[in-house]
Chain A
């Protein structure tokens, strides 16, 4: 690193999907005669503007350019470096800038994500240069394990995987459990569809999570740690492997760490595509090489966990909070948030939002603030209908309740949960019965089958939801769903079953009229449910280009030159490909009367 400028390309999975790798390659070729170093970065959080390129100067100023392509990136960076000035009209974010896009950044509180997109995830030196491994040094050299737990207690940190259990209590229990063989486990089996916080943190700042695990290990007296990472996250696994190897080489892992008598080793185990393994006892089973099925608690893992030994399980985000808490003190962390929910929370903002991505906000901020101030409102001219939190275990919060503050207890009060951090924004195009069906399809498929109510009950709920969306719903179906839901919650051993009915219960609670429209009037107000809609071509708008007919998998569309095309409703399977294919917005969807069934 000798040049005055460092150019970083955000190479998280999202960035790569948006073409950031091509941008990186172009810069590698295009910057050979430019006085700038090129670096790999993690997720900068602004997924909506990917690919992202950051130009940092030696004085620490950072300027982020968004929406680049390979040519534009080379041109921007050259211009910036040669003139020594930011190319103002293309700047997405820089310190002090006021703009709609910059609000996305300015209105956040980034403690945990401070390094994300800034450090090179593949370089331990990069992490150390940002103050990395200072917390473990402080703990090992100046604090007793009890003092570490005390700081975590002062911070008020609660489990970020969704449960919200106080972290310090968990650690304290594991510390008190007798024995010298103990384990720390990092739950990186981020299975909630719609959540990508843990993936981004692992891909962008793996050492921070490792440092958090080291602190936990020191606090409870463990010398081995395991990452359990979703197999769907190959890049996170790859970067973790590099990080662990580097930490071993530098002496941050292994024997006598930092010259003390603390020994710690880290291993990675890959998940194999089972959502239930996000539950702690199922996860332990999986590491033990068995089917991932939960067991009754107690004994809790803190007493009897991995291989029967006392173990502590936290999720990625929980561990990633700990280095800050130990280094800055628990009180610094507790400054943020509300009485019962301290600190900040990372969210994956996605769905029909103008500016989606990875955000970190203080607890207590309202959903509206997140959607409108940070996310810039809805995509296009959509209107906010609902916010879904907590994935398949969570609930749908209607727009009129979006002034609810985000904290564990307020969300619980309205039937939703904090969950791990997925925030799905829905506009009027989302059918709430379809959303409930979507989540039940997922949970009934992922039920491990151990508890009857979860195994059979979720399947029955799905059957009812399917028939409602098919226009075959019966009087009393809503009550039947509610009745089943209560029993599934009571009759299930683990969080999967206990929370699986939530999406159904909250959509019934807040959007009952949509269920009724499906059941009684046989219409789908959002025009989503295939059996209740039909496609038609607007003869006025049709330009007879034949694109729809060519794309129709069942050849249900006919027409001729200079004549509007027509869809045969009998043979149409309502796949909607014609609507995607039409460039003139001529394919319309109707519900109710138009159906010929």
Chain B
């Protein structure tokens, strides 16, 4: 999408985000993070909108989103699964969990399944080292995960998607929610 087409503004939330965060000193990262938590990813045309609003060169913005691992440049699937590959989880068999996850979801680590139901990511430590292997599914953490449990979770999420049309996990990829 070019800048021209953008004039009718396909991303109204970005205007709000920029307005809200501009009072902070050097807010570029904060703005990009807020965009990702709203849309689940940061697309080049979103960067252009930020440039229009803030005057920050899009090359600068692009340099940020390509430097930090957290930013995604493409939309994610309906369910976001993170498999922890920290040291404790590695020793506890994280590789096996990733294998099982790839097999069950059909998504290779770091990508989204063809049916767009699952995005599987390998991540560095989630900090729950005593419970390894650990995964998160749409922000919810599971400890002591086994290939069997992977099968169960993926099956459940897949069915849930089919029944509810995935309304339940609209929040996938947005700011991870941890219930209190």
- Report A's interface with B, CB cutoff 8 A: 11, 13-14, 16-18, 21, 40, 47-48, 50, 122, 190-196, 199-200, 231-235, 238, 267, 269-275, 286-292, 307, 348-352, 356-357, 388, 391, 422, 424, 426, 429-430, 435, 438-439, 442, 448, 551, 553, 575-577, 580-581
Contact = CB atoms under 8 A, between A and B. Distances in A.
A191 B144 CA distance: 21
B69 interface: yes
Contacts of B85: 193
Contacts of A275: 124
A40 B180 contact: yes
A241 B102 CA distance: 36
A497 B47 CA distance: 32
Contact of B29 (A11, A194, A269): A269
B96 interface: yes
A581 B124 contact: no
A273 B86 contact: no
B91 A287 contact: no
Given A18-B144, A233-B127, A272-B71, 4 more contacts: A47-B130, A272-B69, A289-B64, A577-B96
Interface stretch (B10-18, B131-139, B157-165): B131-139
A13 B70 contact: no
Interface string B168-180: 0000000111111
B54 to A, nearest CB: 11
A292 B68 contact: yes
B99 interface: yes
Given A11-B180, A13-B127, A426-B91, A234 B175 contact: yes
Contacts of A424: 87-88, 91, 129
Interface string B54-96: 0000001001100111110000000000000111101101011
Given A17-B128, A553-B103, A577-B96, A289 B178 contact: no
B175 to A, nearest CB: 7
Contacts of B180: 11, 21, 40, 122, 238
23 contacts: A13-B126, A13-B127, A13-B128, A16-B178, A17-B142, A21-B179, A193-B87, A195-B127, A234-B175, A267-B24, A271-B68, A273-B124, A289-B28, A289-B64, A290-B64, A356-B129, A430-B91, A442-B124, A551-B100, A575-B96, A577-B147, A580-B100, A580-B146
B141 interface: yes
Nearest to A190: B127
A202 B88 CA distance: 21
A48 B96 contact: no
Contacts of A17: 128, 131, 134, 141-143
B177 A234 contact: yes
Given A235-B178, A272-B69, A289-B29, A14 B143 contact: yes
Nearest to A290: B64
Given A192-B125, A442-B124, A47 B131 contact: yes
Nearest to B82: A232
B115 interface: no
A213 to B, nearest CB: 18
Nearest to A238: B178
Nearest to B63: A291
Interface string B20-58: 000011111110010000000000000000000000000
Contacts of B124: 191, 193, 232, 273, 275, 442
Interface of B: 24-30, 33, 60, 63-64, 67-71, 85-88, 90-91, 93, 95-96, 99-100, 102-103, 123-132, 134, 139, 141-144, 146-148, 175-180
Nearest to A439: B87
Contacts of A233: 127
Contacts of B141: 13, 16-17
Contacts of B67: 274, 291-292, 448
Given A348-B129, A580-B96, A307 B139 contact: no
B103 A350 contact: no
A291 B32 CA distance: 13
Contacts of B99: 553, 575-577
Contacts of A199: 127
A438 B87 contact: yes
Given A272-B70, A350-B88, A576-B96, A232 B123 contact: yes
Given A14-B131, A275-B124, A348-B129, A193 B71 contact: no
Nearest to A379: B92
Contacts of B64: 289-291
B33 A270 contact: yes
Contacts of B29: 269-270, 272, 286, 289
A232 B148 contact: no
Contacts of B178: 13, 16, 234-235, 238
A100 to B, nearest CB: 17
A422 B87 contact: yes
A190 B127 CA distance: 9
Given A272-B71, A290-B64, A196 B87 contact: no
A238 B178 CA distance: 9
Nearest to B25: A307
Contacts of B87: 193-194, 350-351, 388, 391, 422, 424, 438-439
A289 B26 contact: yes
Nearest to B141: A17
Contacts of A274: 67-69
A307 B128 CA distance: 34
A391 B175 CA distance: 27
Given A234-B175, A273-B69, A424-B88, A581 B147 contact: yes
Contacts of A272: 29, 33, 68-71
A14 B144 CA distance: 11
Nearest to A121: B180
A424 B69 CA distance: 25
Contact of B132 (A238, A350, A391, A439): A350
A273 B88 contact: no
Nearest to B84: A193
Contacts of A422: 87, 129
A92 to B, nearest CB: 15
Nearest to B131: A17
Contacts of A14: 128, 130-131, 143
Nearest to B179: A21
A287 B26 CA distance: 7
A439 to B, nearest CB: 8
B40 to A, nearest CB: 14
A351 B69 CA distance: 26
Q: Closest 10 CB pairs between A and B?
A: A47-B130, A272-B68, A193-B86, A273-B69, A350-B129, A193-B125, A273-B70, A289-B28, A196-B127, A194-B87
